[in-house]
Amino acid sequence: MIDKGEPYLSYLLRMWVVKNQGGMVWRFSVENVHTAERKGFDSLESLCDFLCQETAPVPGVELENDDFVV
C-alpha cells in the first residue's frame, strides 16, 4: 500500500503457463523491486485483487503530480 512517505510502487511482473489437469493455465508473480519481496498468484483475478489493494487510496494522502496520467 502506498504510504505518506513514498507514493510510488514498482514491481517486476512475471507470467508463465503450466499444465493443469490436461489444460494450460497462467501463473503470475510480482517482485517488489525495492524490497525483493515476491508474491505468487494462481489466477489473473488474484493478481488484480493484490494490485487493487496495493493502490487503494490512503486516507489523508493526496497525490499532486499526475504526469503519467493521460
The predicted-structure confidence for 25-70, as pLDDT tens digits, reads as follows 999 999 999 999 999 999 999 999 999 999 887 777 666 666 655 5
For residues 61 and 4, the answer to whether their CB atoms sit within 8 Å is yes
- The C-alpha angle 59, 60, 63, rounded to 5 degrees, equals 100
Prediction pTM value: 0.73
Residue 31 contacts residue 11 (beta carbons within 8 Å): yes
Strand boundaries in 1-70, DSSP class E: 11-20, 23-32, 38-41
